[in-house]
Amino acid sequence: MIKPLTHFPSDSDKHLGASSDFLIIEDLTKTYRSADGNKSVVLDNINLKIGEDEYISVIGHSGCGKSTLLKIVSGLEKASSGSVRLQGKEIRKPGADRMMVFQHYSLLPWLTVRCNIRLAVDEVLEHVPPVEKSRIVEEHLAMVNLTAAADKYPDQLSGGMKQRVGIARALAIRPKVLLMDEPFGALDALTRGKLQRQVLDIWESHRQSVIMVTHDVDEALYMSDRIIMMTNGPAATIGEILEVPFPHPRNPQEIRESHEYYEYRNHALNFLDRHFNREE
Amino acid sequence: MLLYAIQTAVVAAHTTWQKYLRPAFLRDAILLPLLGFAFLIALWWVVATFVTTLLPTPAEAFIDNLDYILNPFYRRGPGDLGIGWLLLASLRRVFTGFLLGSLVAVPIGFWIGASKKAMMAINPIVQILRPVSPVAWLPIALAVFNLANPSAIFVIFITSLWPTVINTALGVSSVSSDYLDIARVLEMPRWRQIYKIILPASLPYIFTGLRISLGIAWLVIVAVEMLTGGIGIGFFVWDEWNRLSLSSVFLAVLVIGLTGLVLDILLVQIQRIITHRPVQQS
């Protein structure tokens, strides 16, 4: 089920190479109406453009609506006003071109690792012949080093392995945008580091548009090209955008040894501190 | 040399059986359960000896029942069958009623769990009929079917409905929103969501319902057969009481209990095979 990209494919193809108009978020707001009729503004006036092969992090304190923003891009939640356009096409509902990697993995516990990935492939790449589907599944199992665990059930896996399945499942259906909601948030520090490395390796060899929600400044600095720093809710918005100019492929040790790393890190931490104090 | 071989053999046997010979295992898995049964049998003995003369002592009951135990499948005339045949007759009724009930209950539960309107319409019926002892349905069934056997099966059918309906509905309505998000992101059509996500996700609940249903069905069949007569373990209990042959009643109690336990274990095994997940014991 590969869908036409836009109404004018030739036109948009010209765009893609050069500009960052791949994914455009415009004047986005999200308001919840609580039971007593009061409105609470979660996201206010978000404007953002993301390039076709750009790795973006969204960082902010808990409850600042960064997950909501991701859900709106995925289509799982609707914006109250404003628009999100992917290659010029307005996003109205969930779709496999914007695949999510969930914080708590969301693997189906009654399916083996291989079948979890296969389920997504079966659903999205409907018209691909079965042999090719199997090849895609095996390729992505290998990509996250899970070939040996392919016939295990999620209950038998560690958190890091589960999340690798989640990532393989997301990548196997070849989304245009990969959305990751605190993908490493539930992992221990060692596993987290390893998995960050793996994901970045994969991304560096198959570049694509990624939006990653995180609350870890080091993770954002290590992995992404730009860091979107959100102000605190209610009515959270983009406070600042930090460009991370380290060239890819990145080496975490080298980056940490560089002088700029600490400037960026302090800058980001100060931003977060400032917005934390304001609320207290 | 020989000594050495014996020594290794002993060590090997020791490590294999270590788990079973460990004092804690012996105590928890063998001694304490035996102690429980011993107490029960002692109580029976005291009551049979000092309280009433109608009851046989455990030893008397065992001797009286030897024929039943050794020849469970005898046929000595039209109404004179071994206890194995009686058990099979009861099991057939329970299975027929339980299967029919489950075939109705799972879809209804699914519907209630998925649709708020269906819940509003059907839940009051379930809540009012659920507390009714299924045996109360027997006269109605007899009026409709005019035959004992279909009526008994109908009562088991009713018995099997409620726990399965309620648990299936609970399972369907509590499918994790994460799973549904996955289905939505993958743009699954609704009917495929039902059989690829919602059904497998709610299977553990459905099985809980089935297990409760089957357990109650096995309780109820004894009462129903006492009322309807015919061939079956329940009528056997009543018939033997009428003949004041209480030894047989004790045997029947043991057989009914063991069968109920085996039924539950079988269902747990089926659940384990189908859902690929560990089963919570209740």
Burial class (CB in 10 A: 0-12, 13-18, 19+), A229: buried
Domains of chain A and CATH, by start: 1-86+178-280 (3.40.50.300), 98-174 (no CATH)
Burial class (CB in 10 A: 0-12, 13-18, 19+), B1: exposed
Is residue A39 within 8 A of residue A193, CB to CB? The reply is: no
Inform me whether the pLDDT recorded for A78 exceeds 60.
Answer: yes
Give the pLDDT of residue B158.
Answer: 96
Average per-residue pLDDT in chain B? 90
Average per-residue pLDDT in chain A? 86
Length reported for chain B: 282
Is residue B89 within 8 A of residue B231, CB to CB? The reply is: yes
Burial class (CB in 10 A: 0-12, 13-18, 19+), B64: middle
Q: Give CA torsion, residues B67, B71, B75, B80, to 10 deg.
A: 40
Inform me whether the pLDDT recorded for A13 exceeds 70.
Answer: no
| Closest-CA residue of chain B to A120 | B186
**A232 reaches B (C-beta below 8 A):** no
A166-193 pLDDT tens trace:
999 999 998 999 999 999 888 888 888 8
Which among A76, A98, A110 has the least Cβ separation from residue B277? A110
Inform me whether the pLDDT recorded for A278 exceeds 70.
Answer: no
The strands making up A23-33's β-sheet, listed across from edge to edge, are A39-50, A23-33, A81-86, A89-90
Q: What is the ipTM of this complex?
A: 0.82
pTM to 2 decimal places: 0.81
Give the pLDDT of residue A4.
Answer: 37
pLDDT per residue, tens digit, chain B (282 aa), is 566 666 666 666 666 666 666 777 778 888 899 999 999 999 999 999 998 888 999 999 999 888 888 888 888 877 788 899 999 999 999 999 999 999 999 999 999 999 999 999 999 999 999 999 999 999 999 999 999 999 999 999 999 999 999 999 999 999 999 899 999 999 999 999 999 999 999 999 999 999 999 999 999 999 999 999 889 999 999 999 999 899 999 999 999 999 999 999 999 999 988 887 766 654
With both helix axes pointing from N to C terminus, report the angle between B83-114 and B199-228 in degrees, rounded to the nearest 10. 140
Give the pLDDT of residue A12.
Answer: 40
Burial class (CB in 10 A: 0-12, 13-18, 19+), A87: buried
The residue among A72, A74, A86, A106 with the most chain B CBs within 10 A of its CB, best to mutate, is A106
Least confident of A1-10, A156-165, A257-266, B11-20: A1-10
Give the pLDDT of residue A16.
Answer: 41
Q: What are the chain B neighbours of A100 within 8 Å (beta carbons)? A: 181-182, 185
Give the pLDDT of residue B159.
Answer: 94
Average pLDDT over residues A195-219: 91
Q: How far is the alpha carbon of A152 from chain B, nearest alpha carbon, in Å?
A: 10
| Closest-CA residue of chain B to A74 | B185
